[in-house]
Amino acid sequence: MKYYIIAGEASGDLHGSNLMKALYKEDAAADIRFWGGDLMQNVGGTLVKHYRELAFMGFAEVVMNLKTILNNIKFCKADIEKFSPDVIIFIDYPGFNMRIAQWAKQKGIKTHYYIAPQIWAWKENRIKAVKKDFDKLFVILPFEKDFFEVKHHFPVEFVGHPLIDAIHNRPLTDPVTFRKEHNLYEKPIIALLPGSRKQEISKMLSIMLSIVSEFPEYQFVIAGAPSQEYSFYEQFLTTENVKFVSNKTYDLLSMATAALVTSGTATLETALFKVPEVVCYKGSWVSYQIAKRIITLKYISLVNLIMDEQVVTELIQEKLNAKNLKTELTKLLDDKYRATLLKKYDALEAKLGGIGASEKTAKLILKDLK
């Protein structure tokens, strides 16, 4: 079978790589052409465009790069027609993928969506397009099945969360070697996950690092995003007790005592590594006011959304300050508080359906094609 996969972000590259491994296992003759990143490229197939060329986030950035985005859409359509796949597998990245799906469906090409768009968070009216333009939807969050099937009468497959696979299948980290390679102290680690975009990282790190002197018995280690160069982070490495590792977030989390995490998928990753965390978010006043009116969710972290209760503390906008951050981090270092939180993390993992999301999805895709 011929598969065309479109992943437009780092997380999509991770999940796409595991799905590709599963597809090759299920279909020895699989011919895969894809938009993605290094992880997918390491599995095999043919890389068309790297996600680094596609990462336009925020209203202003999208408008400024509209010509590039439209050219990418045009190029993608032409490339799909030339390849003539049996199915297109879309991974998250809804702004781009839903446009391609609309066109592909009209061309009679099968359309499968793995890691469905989060229309339960905002733009719920997109359900009309989802119903019209996709043959199959594979969802990874337990509450999504009810959202699509009960509320909107659209059958979907709940396959479990691929992060469990990614974490379960990763090579184990040797703590001694890791500390030596990255010049880390013997002190326990507070991991700092400030996001992946420059503006976001600068804003988050300035607040996260403001409490370093309050915890001298710990070392604070910044998790560098694969999309950013070391030179960008150097400005934040001015304090002796602050260290840096690049593109080794999972290794870092496997050794961390606690973490300060910018909202996003990283909040769930941190919980699955059983690391107590504080979820942080601070955007511009304008962006926050817009988001507040569009998004009507009780929580911003996936941990709390999945559990439908406040499991981890969320410090948002004006609540994200040095005083509150110090208070919440102090709580995370208390044994009794940690024990309660870790029990909630175990319940969270059970709710996500266990390992095997990639294999289940690959089998279901092949079943549909045959």
Query: What stretch(es) of the chain map to CATH 3.40.50.2000?
Result: 2-161+353-369, 168-351
Rounded CA separation 344/312 (Å): 9
Q: Which residue has the higher pLDDT, 239 or 194?
A: 194
Burial status of residue 328 (CB atoms within 10 A of its CB: 0-12, 13-18, 19 or more): buried
Query: Within the chain, where are the H helices?
Result: 10-26, 38-43, 59-64, 66-83, 94-106, 127-133, 142-146, 162-169, 175-181, 198-208, 230-233, 249-253, 265-272, 285-294, 302-307, 322-332, 335-351, 357-369
Q: Place domain 2-161+353-369 in its CATH homologous superfamily.
A: Glycogen Phosphorylase B; (3.40.50.2000)
CB 111 within 8 Å of CB 101 = yes
pLDDT at 285 > cutoff 60: no
Both tokens of 351, joined, read 């709710």
Q: Could you tell me which residues come within 8 angstroms of residue 275 by beta carbon, excluding any fewer than 6 positions away?
A: 191, 253, 256, 257, 258, 259
Q: What is the pLDDT of residue 265?
A: 87
pLDDT at 59 > cutoff 80: no
Taking only the tens place, the pLDDT of each residue in 111-129 is 999 998 889 887 899 999 9
Looking at residues 140-155, what average pLDDT do you find? Answer: 95
Give the 3-state secondary structure of residue 306: helix
Taking only the tens place, the pLDDT of each residue in 81-101 is 999 999 999 999 998 999 999
Give the 3-state secondary structure of residue 163: helix
CB 360 within 8 Å of CB 160 = yes
Rounded CA separation 53/72 (Å): 9
Calculate ∠ Cα 41-46-49, nearest 5°. Answer: 80
Calculate ∠ Cα 46-4-119, nearest 5°. Answer: 130
User: Which class is domain 168-351?
Assistant: alpha beta
Looking at residues 197-216, what average pLDDT do you find? Answer: 93
219-224 vs 110-114, strand pairing mode: unpaired
Both tokens of 247, joined, read 């593109």
CB 150 within 8 Å of CB 322 = no
pLDDT at 52 > cutoff 90: no
Phi first, then psi, for residue 294 (nearest 5°) are -90, -40
Q: What is the pLDDT of residue 131?
A: 96
Both tokens of 90, joined, read 């879309």
Taking only the tens place, the pLDDT of each residue in 211-264 is 999 999 999 999 998 878 999 999 999 888 999 999 899 999 999 999 999 988
Looking at residue 59, its amino acid is F
Give the 3-state secondary structure of residue 149: helix
pLDDT at 370 > cutoff 60: yes
Looking at residue 65, its amino acid is N
pLDDT at 296 > cutoff 90: no
Q: Could you tell me which residues come within 8 angstroms of residue 276 by beta carbon, excluding any fewer than 6 positions away?
A: 257, 258, 259, 312, 332, 337, 338, 341, 342
Of 51-65, 264-278, 321-335, the poorest mean pLDDT is in 51-65
Taking only the tens place, the pLDDT of each residue in 334-369 is 999 999 999 999 999 999 988 899 999 999 999 999
Rounded CA separation 100/312 (Å): 37
CB 57 within 8 Å of CB 284 = no
pLDDT at 295 > cutoff 80: no
